[in-house]
Amino acid sequence: MKVHDIAADVTRSMVDEAVAALTDPLSLRNPNSADAMRKVIAVAFGKEYVVTDLMLVVATCAFHSHPQSSDGGALFNLRAAAERVLRAVLLLRDEPRVIVASAVLGNATLQTAAPLSEPTEVVVYYSASSGYWLRPASEFNDGRFLQIGTGPVLPGTLFQHVKSGGTYEWICVSTLDLESPASDMSKFVVLEGVDGGLRFQRMPIRALGNWARRQQPESRPEKRA
């Protein structure tokens, strides 16, 4: 499907419906919830469409992929977010796929001294104030992070950044598979696999759709009348 075909499919009335779904009293309490995303997907495919894990992942990531302002800040507009969700799920309309992830954990920022171009072992760590971060394991273990307390390093172990003094919760060590080079401050989506492991996908949402296409196909959804 060509991009202009997708653009033609997303009409003003569809965006109006999607915004109404997101501003429903129940959705408004938690507009990022799966239920809220299901309502927007129903605008695209109809209420009888069986929503897949892929659609929820795509919708949720699209909802969070705010455009960036010139100073690097994120801009958010509910109408624009609703349109992003519609465009993202319609992108997969003709080729829906099964995804190997069970949940979206959040967005992550890569920190690396040198650009990464090959599958690289990374440490995933978390800060309550700044979210998820990725760093090559070689850098994480070079002395810039010190463990707080003693004992084995298990999920939940706390580390302190020597220079900044920031406290981070260690999540796990995983492999970052890259299709293109990633530089410092690159943005990723962190996905939890059905096997309990983590998957990473580059932003923006179109990359997630392309990645999902490589999975096993499933039955096609019926087009909305």
pLDDT in tens, 109-156: 899 999 988 788 899 999 888 888 999 999 999 999 999 988 888 888
Q: What is the pLDDT of residue 57?
A: 72
Q: What is the pLDDT of residue 30?
A: 63
Q: How confident is the model at residue 11 (pLDDT cuts 50, 70, 90)?
A: confident
Q: What is the pLDDT of residue 93?
A: 61
User: How many other CB atoms sit within 10 Å of the CB of residue 157?
Assistant: 16
What is the tens place of the pLDDT at every residue in 187-204? 887 877 666 677 777 765
Q: How confident is the model at residue 78 (pLDDT cuts 50, 70, 90)?
A: confident
Task: Give the residue from 136, 97, 62 showing the smallest Cα distance to 217.
Answer: 97
**Range from 38-47, 57-66, 97-106, 126-135 carrying the lowest mean pLDDT:** 97-106
Q: How confident is the model at residue 1 (pLDDT cuts 50, 70, 90)?
A: very low
Separation between Cα atoms, residue 168 and residue 178, nearest integer Å: 25
Q: What is the pLDDT of residue 141?
A: 92
Q: What is the pLDDT of residue 210?
A: 45
Q: Report H helices in 10-163.
A: 12-22, 25-29, 34-45, 53-64, 78-91, 137-139
The residue type found at 203 is M
Q: What are the tokens at 115?
A: 């650009």
Q: Which residue has the tokens 């979206």?
A: 104
What is the tens place of the pLDDT at every residue in 24-54? 766 665 655 778 888 888 888 888 887 776 6
pLDDT, average across residues 12-26: 84
Q: What are the tokens at 217?
A: 């196909």
Q: What is the pLDDT of residue 73?
A: 60
The answer on pLDDT for 177 being more than 90 is no
Beta strand extents in the chain (DSSP E only): 101-110, 120-127, 131-136, 145-147, 158-161, 167-176, 187-193, 198-202
Average pLDDT score over the chain: 75
Q: What is the pLDDT of residue 67?
A: 64
Q: What are the tokens at 34?
A: 């799966």
Would you say the C-alpha torsion 71, 73, 78, 83 has a positive or negative sign? positive
